[in-house]
Structure 1
Amino acid sequence: MIPRQCPYLHRIGAPQYRRSIQCNACSGASWHVAGCFPDIGPRLQVRHLVAAITIYRRRNLTLPTDGAALDGKSAGRQCHCSTRREEMTGHAHQTPAQIRASLGHPVIDGDGHWVEYDPVFAEQMRKVGGDRAADGFLAAMNVTKAGLDMSVAERKRRRVAMPGFWTRQTGNTLDRATAMMPRLFYDRMEEFGTDFAVIYPTAGLRLPRIKDDETRRAVIHAYNIVSAGYFEKLSDRMTPAAIIPMHHPEEAIAELEFVTRELGSKAAMFGSAFPRQVESVKPDPEADRFAVWYEVFGIDSPYDYDPVWSRCRDLKIAPTFHSTGSNQALRNSPTNFVYNHIGHFADAGHAACKGIFLGGVTRRFPELRWAFLEGGVGWAAQLFGDLIEHWERRNIRALENMKPEKLDKMKLLSLVEKYGYGDMLAALKARNGTPDPEMHNTGGLEDLDDFSRCKITRKQDWVDLFATPFYFGCEADDRMNSIAFGKVNPFGAKLNAIYSSDVGHFDVIDMRDPLPEAYELVEDGFITQNDFHDFVFGNSVRLWGTQNPNFFDGTRIAKEAKALLGQAAVRTAAE
Structure 2
Amino acid sequence: MVEFSRLHISRSAAIRAKLDYPVIDTDVHTNDFTPAFEDYIATYGGAQLVDELRKAENYRLNSKVDGKDWYQQTPEERQYYRTLRAPWWARVTRNTLDLATYTLPELLYERQAEQGSDYSVLFPNNALAALGAKPENRQALQRAINHYHADIYRKYSDRLTPVAGITMNTPEEAIEELEFAVKTLGLKVINIPGGVKRPIKAIADKYPADQYPEIAKYAYYIDFFGLDSEYDYDPFWAKVVELGVPITTHYGSQGWTGRSSISNYMNNHIGHFADGSQAFAKALFFGGVTRRFPQLRLGLLEGGADWGAHVYIHLVDRFSKRNLKALQNYNPDLTNANELFELFERFGTEITKGYSLGKEELVDTVLGASFSRYSRQPVGSELEDFAAAGIETIEDIRDRWVNNFFFGSESDDRTIAAAFNDKANPLGVKINAIYSSDVGHWDVPDITQPLAESWELVEEGVISEADFKAYVFENPYKLYTEANPNFFKGTAIESKLAKVESQSVDKPLATV
| CA displacement, residues 471-518 of structure 1 (integer Å, 9 cap, x when unaligned) | 111111100112221222111111111000100111111111111111
Q: Deviations over 1:147-170 (max 9, x none)?
A: 333333323222221112222222
Q: 1:115 to 1:491 in 2, by over 3 A?
A: same
- Offset at 1:109? 0.4
Distance 1:443 1:118 in 2: 59
- Asked if the contact 1:236–1:554 (Cα under 8 Å) also holds between the matched residues in 2, the reply is yes
Q: CA offsets per residue over residues 226-245 of structure 1, 9 Å max, x none?
A: 11122111101100010111
Contact 1:545 1:551 in 2 (8 A): yes
The offset of 1:326, in angstroms, is 1.1
Contact kept in structure 2, 1:132 and 1:219, CA below 8 Å: no
1:414 paired to 2:342: yes
Cα shift readout 1:63-84 (whole Å, capped 9, x = no counterpart):
xxxxx9xxxx74884686xxxx
Amino acid at match of 1:334: I
Residue identity opposite 2:30 in structure 1: W
- CA distance in 2: counterparts of 1:163 and 1:182, whole angstroms: 29
Hey, what's the Cα distance between the residues in 2 that align with 1:561 and 1:256? Answer: 30
**Cα displacement string for residues 128-153 of structure 1 (whole angstroms, at most 9, x for unaligned residues):** 13344322221122133433333333
CA contact (8 A) 1:196 1:557 kept: yes
Aligned to 1:288: 216
Cα pair 2:223 2:230 within 8 Å, conserved? no
Partner SS for 2:284: helix
Alignment partner, residue 412 of structure 2: 477
The one-letter amino acid of 2:71's match is: L
Separation in 1, partners of 2:256, 2:129: 14
SS state of the match for residue 431, structure 1?
A: helix
TM-score, reference length from structure 2 = 0.88
Q: CA deviation at 1:205?
A: 4.6
Q: 1:225 to 1:211 in 2, by over 3 A?
A: closer
Structure 1 residues 460 and 444, CA gap change in structure 2 (3 angstroms): closer
Residue in structure 2 matching 1:513, options 449, 471, 478:
449
* Match of residue 272, structure 2, among 330, 335, 344: 344
Distance 1:149 1:364 in 2: 49
Deviates more, 1:547-556 or 1:270-279: 270-279
3-state DSSP of counterpart to 1:368: coil
| 2:385 corresponds to which of 435, 450, 472 | 450
1:65 maps to which residue?
none
Q: Secondary structure at the match of 1:473?
A: strand
Contact 1:96–1:191 (CA under 8 A) maintained in structure 2? yes
Q: Does 1:134 align with 2:69?
A: no
Post-superposition offset of 1:324? 1.9
CA–CA separation in structure 1 for the residues paired with 2:175 and 2:84? 33
Stretches of structure 2 that go unaligned for 5 or more consecutive residues are 63-68
Instruction: Tell me the alpha carbon deviations over residues 343-383 of structure 1, each in whole angstroms, 9 at most, x when there is no partner.
Output: 11111110011111111111111122111111011111110
* Segment drifting more, 211-220 vs 100-109: 211-220
Secondary structure of 1:170's aligned partner: coil
Go from structure 1 to structure 2 and tell me whether the alpha carbon gap of 1:219 and 1:411 turns closer, same or farther (over 3 Å shift): same
Letter in 1 for 2:313: G
Residue correspondence of structure 1 range 336-415 to structure 2 within 5 A:
336-415=264-343
Task: After superposition, give the CA deviation of every residue in 1:237-274 in whole Å (9 maximum; x if it has no partner).
Answer: 10001011111000000000000011101000112223
Where 2:121 maps in the other structure, the secondary structure is strand
- Give the Cα–Cα distance (whole angstroms) in 2 for the partners of residues 268 and 390 of structure 1: 33
Are the counterparts in 2 of residues 97 and 193 from structure 1 also a CA contact under 8 Å? yes
- Paired residue for 2:79? 156
Instruction: Give the one of 444, 468, 471 matched to 2:403.
Output: 468
Partner Cα separation in structure 2 for residue 205 and residue 524 of structure 1 = 38
Structure 1 length normalisation: TM-score? 0.79
Q: In structure 2, what residue type is equivalent to 1:463?
A: R
Question: Counterpart in 1 of 2:66?
Answer: none
**Partner Cα separation in structure 2 for residue 459 and residue 547 of structure 1:** 24
Q: Is the 8 A contact 1:122 1:138 kept in 2?
A: no
- For 1:203-218, list aligned pairs within 5 A: 203-205=126-128, 207-208=130-131, 210=132, 212-218=134-140
Distance (Å, rounded) in 2 between the aligned partners of 1:304 and 1:446: 22
- For 2:105 and 2:156, how far apart are their aligned partners in 1? 8
- Structure 1 gaps, min length 5: 1-67, 81-93
Deviates more, 1:167-176 or 1:123-132: 123-132
Say whether the 8 Å CA contact 1:272–1:296 is kept in structure 2.
yes
The one-character-per-residue Cα deviations of 1:304-324 (angstroms, maximum 9, x if unpaired) are 011001000111112222222
Distance 2:102 2:456 in 1: 25
Shift, 1:537, TM fit: 0.8
Q: Give the alignment partner of residue 438 of structure 1, picking from 369, 376, 389.
A: 369
Count of residue pairs the alignment pairs up: 485
- Whether contact under 8 Å (2:188, 2:245) holds in the other structure is yes
1:224 aligns with 2:154: no
User: In the superposition, relative to structure 1, how do residues 452 and 480 fare at CA in structure 2: closer, same or farther (>3 Å)?
Assistant: same
Using a 3 Å threshold, how does the CA distance of structure 1 residues 331 and 294 change in structure 2: closer, same or farther?
same
Instruction: Give distance in 1, aligned partners of 2:377 and 2:145.
Output: 44
Question: For residues 419 and 364 of structure 1, do their structure 2 counterparts lie closer, same or farther at Cα, with a shift above 3 Å needed?
Answer: same
| Cα deviations by residue, 1:90-146 (Å, 9 ceiling, x for unpaired) | xxxx71110000111111101111022345423321221334432222112213343
Q: Could you say if the C-alpha distance between residues 513 and 427 of structure 1 is closer, same or farther in structure 2, counting changes exceeding 3 Å?
A: farther
Q: Please, what is the CA RMSD of the aligned residues?
A: 2.6
**Contact 1:476 1:514 (C-alpha < 8 Å) held by counterparts:** yes
Q: Who is 2:123 aligned against?
A: 200
Distance 2:305 2:197 in 1: 24
* Cα deviation, residue 175, structure 1: 0.9
Q: Are the aligned partners of 2:335 and 2:363 in contact in 1 as well (CA < 8 Å)?
A: no
- Partners of 1:160 and 1:327 within 8 A in 2: no
Equivalent residues in 2 for 1:497-512 (5 A)? 497-512=433-448
Aligned 8 A contact 1:467 1:495 in 2: yes
Contact kept in structure 2, 1:375 and 1:472, CA below 8 Å: yes
